[in-house]
Structure 1
Amino acid sequence: MNAQAKVEACPVLDAAPWPARATVLACRLLDGEVLASVENVIEEVPVALVYNGISHAVMLASPADLEDFALGFSLSEGILQTPGELYDCEVVHGASGIEVRLDIATERMFGLKERRRNLAGRTGCGLCGVDSLDAAVRTPAPVAPRSAVRASAIQRALTELGTWQPLHRATGAAHAAAWADNEGKLQLVREDVGRHNALDKLAGALATRRINPATGFALVTSRASYEMVQKAASAGIGVLAAISAPTAYAVRVADAAHVTLIGLARPGRLTAYTHPDQLIGT
């Protein structure tokens, strides 16, 4: 089996996987009346990413599309340089959480061990296990030039997005990261309780399906922080649209990475904060 085939074959081993949502008893106050109700709430599950038998990180995430999440996280965090360096992946459900067991290239595992060894015994800054300000911020390489995107395509994707978010419709608590082609037609949507996780899932799905990032743009239902821009640029995404505003740091990183960063993307309006030449106003 070749490496790409192994990336696409990530079986869930447990017969009773964690659900993406649960039901709870609650009370609703409606026009002064207290009513008993049954509510759908989103699940938030500890997910351990285990590389070649060594646990590297535990994230709180929605228990869906975890193969995409593991690959996207590995690429955006620089653990892997290419999707083909992931040889196998298993999702194992347990009583207290989920393990995603990844078999990666020896060279990449050596680099991961070196990173862990350099951090051992140090007092970290608390951001993703790093121990200095320089290590906390990885500047992504500039994204390759691409053709411009029409504002009308972004508006079309915004209009379609709600129908592609079943978890959010059921719980009201899921972020989405969507991929649309250059005409604004949605191709992929990934949901998660965490906005970073949703974007990692989308990046993993794009890599697994070998979708050229120059053929479309990403849309996220959150603000555009530095991490969101960094993850998008690492995936080669040249246009990132967010429904909320960006941070100043995100704008600086997007400008340096040649990413067209769009914020406050709502029906009938949007704001391009960087590289507006990649956006056609009709």
Structure 2
Amino acid sequence: MTDYKASLIRPDREALEVTDREIAIEVPVSIEFNGIGYAVMMATPSDLEDFLIGFAISEKLVERADQIGAIDVHEHDKGWIIRANLDADKAAMVFERARTRVAESSCGLCGLENLELVAQPLPQVRDHRSIDKAHIFKALETLQGHQPMNQKTGGVHAAGWVDANGDIRCVREDVGRHNALDKLIGALKREGQSLSAGFILTTCRCSYEIVEKSVIAGATTLVTISVPTNFAIERAKSCGLTLVSLAREDSLLQFNGHSLG
């Protein structure tokens, strides 16, 4: 975060007020695997090791964090570089799929030449447990307290992991909604945490990429504060993911999956 001066304009006053405002940082972050530049994302430069692990899992380059070697995070005058080596059998996928990609967020679609890849089947959700609706409302009541960056800037998304008791155990923030989710996935995978016992809670609009990243990471239930797209709902239905959206402290909408307890 960094401070900027701005003019505060009010409808009932003629004089301008000069105020300091903390603003979320957004910089280019280059991701390299085995010496190959794989992607350049616009992201918040925090929890970058988690980001790389979650991104690699979302991209289906690896299934586990231990398939990634030592991670090197380096600040450059034009942004940040994250470097890591994948196991030899996984590195071949990097060479096959490497592409230059500059995007606003890790949407997982930029640079794909074949639109048919967007509709590839997702793995079926397994070990599915019904979530108690009371636990969702409990998490919603406490989520704001787990967003220190957004409390100061009002400009970043959050993705959190909520356990089977409705307690928020891990939250990651980023200006990019996909980046925040990748960071969360990376943090949980580093700890060996299974995502099937609780649910993912995000502050963002639910696009199909949010559904796909959640399913690939092993989640069984996804709760989003904002609305889903039609494609997100269809993708959730296709693989059995429980999808809850427009989640507020007094109401929510369930679009698919096991009935809430």
Shorter-chain TM-score tier: over 0.9
In the alignment of these two chains, the number of paired residues is 252
> Which residue type is aligned with residue 112 of structure 2?
V
Q: Verify: 1:155 aligned to 2:137, yes or no.
A: yes
Distance 1:27 1:34 in 2: 6
In structure 1, the residue matched to 2:97 is 115
2:249 alignment partner, one of 240, 251, 267 = 267
Amino acid at match of 2:69: Y
1:195 aligns with 2:177: yes
Q: Percent identity?
A: 37
Query: 2:2 touches 2:23 (CA, 8 Å); kept in 1?
Result: yes
Tell me the CA shift for residue 194 of structure 1: 0.5
Change (3 A) 1:138 1:204: farther
Structure 2 residue identity aligned to 1:89: I
- Matched residue type, 1:169: Q
231-240 or 74-83, which moves further after superposition?
74-83
Residue in 2 that maps onto 1:48: 30
Q: Distance in 1 between matches of 2:174 and 2:119?
A: 24
Quote the residue 1:166 is aligned against.
148
CA contact (8 A) 2:159 2:184 kept: yes
Does the CA-based 8 Å contact 2:160-2:201 persist in structure 1? yes
* Aligned partner (choices 189, 192, 196) of residue 210 of structure 1: 192
Distance 1:82 1:256 in 2: 24
Counterpart of 1:85 (choices 44, 64, 67) is 67
Distance change (3 Å), C-alpha of 1:102 and 1:186: same
Q: 1:230: which partner in 2?
A: 212
1:218 is paired with a residue whose SS is strand
Write out aligned runs for 1:112-151 (5 A).
112-116=94-98, 127-151=109-133
Map of 1:184 onto structure 2: 166
1:23 and 2:10 aligned: no
Deviation at residue 116 of structure 1 after TM alignment:
3.4
Pairwise CA distance, 1:185: 0.5
TM-score, with length taken from structure 1: 0.86
Choose from 173, 186, 202 the match for 1:220. 202
Any residues of structure 2 matched to 1:40-79 within 5 Å, and which? 40-79=22-61
Which residue identity lines up with residue 49 of structure 1 in the other structure?
Answer: I
Cα distance, 1:128 vs. partner? 2.1
1:85 CA displacement: 1.1
Maintained 8 Å contact 1:93/1:99: yes
Q: Distance in 2 between matches of 1:138 and 1:60?
A: 26
RMSD between aligned residues: 1.5
SS at match of 1:213: coil
Structure 2: which 5+ residue stretches go unaligned? 101-107
Q: Does 1:37 align with 2:19?
A: yes
1:139–1:230 Cα contact (<8 Å) kept: no
2:80 to 98, 106, 113: 98
- Do 1:88 and 1:104's aligned partners in 2 also have CA atoms closer than 8 Å? no
Give the 3 Å change call, closer, same or farther, for CA 208–138 of structure 1 in structure 2.
farther
Once the two structures are overlaid, the 10-residue window that deviates more, 29-38 or 126-135, is 126-135
Q: Quote how far apart the aligned CAs of 1:276 are.
A: 3.7
Q: Residue in 2 aligned with 1:11?
A: none
Q: 1:253: which partner in 2?
A: 235
Partner amino acid, structure 1, of 2:189: A
3-state SS in 1 of match to 2:16: strand
Q: Which whole-Å deviations, capped at 9, do the CAs of 1:216-260 have from their partners, x for residues lacking one?
A: 111000111100000000011111000111111001111112110
Q: Which runs of 4+ in 1 moved over 4 A?
A: none
2:157 is matched with which residue? Answer: 175
